[in-house]
């Protein structure tokens, strides 16, 4: 029986780290933690996580703002014997300013679009050949209700929200274009990561309401049951509820 191979971008902190931890605990899994600096302490600490029987960790460099990185990572994975991928979770992203549209600086919009949108496209294009060799491959984009149109949150978020709306569209389109790959968007909730808590404080809250553990556990449970027919091209909350776009 071949191992299940899972690649998670932004895998050294926040939600990415939480997902790496959960998948590593399982038996017969190869977990690939992609992040921009494998030499960083947060990356090296991943090797201390409990590991299930027959499971192992691979760390590769993927900076979501560098176009060539995912393609170089795919080559590096091939050298390490990775000949397919079962699950890719495009988790890496940024959120650092929350302006109104009337106050939005194009430089800040660009600063979100590059890692949150372009970075996802580059990762998908680089990992697509490996996903296509999987049995029932899954592409999951880490989305956000900040990018919702139908139920747009009543807060100023013109840089991050715009980037998430764009990547939601792309993810839904991937599912339509791919015969085999189940592509959909995960909404992790407003999570107590550095990113989530910084935003919560900005909007007057002590911290974000959802723990990393609850969010990641819910998302992994959801991913376990994914089929292209039922989940593809849709937006799913970490609780398992389908959300409107």
| Domain count of the fold of the chain | 1
pLDDT at residue 205, as a whole number: 84
Residues lower than pLDDT 70 in the chain: none
Strands 29-35 and 56-61: parallel
pTM of structure: 0.95
Tokens of 97: 């300013």
Taking the alpha carbons at both ends of the chain, their separation in whole angstroms is 38
DSSP labels, 48-72? GS---TT-EEEEEE--TT-TTHHHH
pLDDT at residue 190, as a whole number: 83
- What phi-psi label fits residue 134: left (phi over 0), alpha (psi between -120 and 50 degrees) or beta? beta
pLDDT at residue 193, as a whole number: 82
pLDDT at residue 235, as a whole number: 98
- Domain span at residue 93 reads 4-243
pLDDT at residue 198, as a whole number: 80
160 is catalytic: yes
CATH of the domain at 88: 3.40.50.720
CB 76 within 8 Å of CB 60? yes
State the catalytic residue, choosing from 23, 124, 160, 238: 160
154-190 core/surface letters (b: 16 or more CB in 10 A; e: else): eebbbbbbbbbbbbbeebbebbeebeebbbbbbbbbb
- The H or E element containing residue 106 is helix 106-113
State the catalytic residue, choosing from 23, 124, 164, 172: 164
Over residues 185-220, the pLDDT tens digits come to: 999 998 888 777 787 787 788 888 889 999 999 999
pLDDT at residue 188, as a whole number: 96
Is residue 81 classed as helix, strand or coil in its secondary structure? coil
């Amino acid at each position: 029986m071949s191992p299940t191979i899972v690649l998670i971008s932004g895998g050294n902190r926040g939600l990415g780290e939480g997902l790496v931890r959960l998948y590593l605990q399982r038996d017969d899994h190869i977990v690939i933690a992609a992040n921009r600096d494998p030499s960083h302490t947060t990356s090296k600490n991943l090797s201390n996580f409990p590991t299930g029987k027959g499971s192992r960790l691979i760390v590769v460099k993927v900076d979501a703002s560098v176009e060539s990185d995912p393609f170089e990572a795919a080559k590096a994975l091939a050298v390490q014997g990775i000949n397919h991928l079962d699950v890719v979770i495009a988790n890496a992203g940024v959120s650092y300013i929350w302006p109104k549209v009337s106050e939005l600086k194009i430089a800040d919009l660009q600063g979100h679009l590059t890692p949150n949108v372009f970075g996802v496209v580059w990762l998908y294009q680089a990992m697509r050949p490996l996903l296509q060799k999987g049995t029932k491959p899954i592409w999951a984009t880490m989305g956000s209700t900040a990018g919702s149109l139908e139920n747009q949150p009543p807060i100023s978020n013109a840089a991050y929200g715009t980037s998430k709306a764009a990547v939601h569209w792309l993810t839904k389109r991937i599912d339509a274009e791919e015969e085999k790959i189940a592509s959909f968007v995960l909404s992790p909730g407003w999570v107590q990561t550095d990113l989530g808590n910084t935003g919560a404080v900005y909007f007057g809250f002590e911290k974000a309401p959802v723990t990393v553990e609850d969010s990641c556990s819910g998302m992994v449970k959801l991913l376990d049951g994914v089929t292209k027919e039922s989940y593809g091209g849709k937006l799913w909350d970490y609780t398992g509820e389908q959300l409107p776009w």
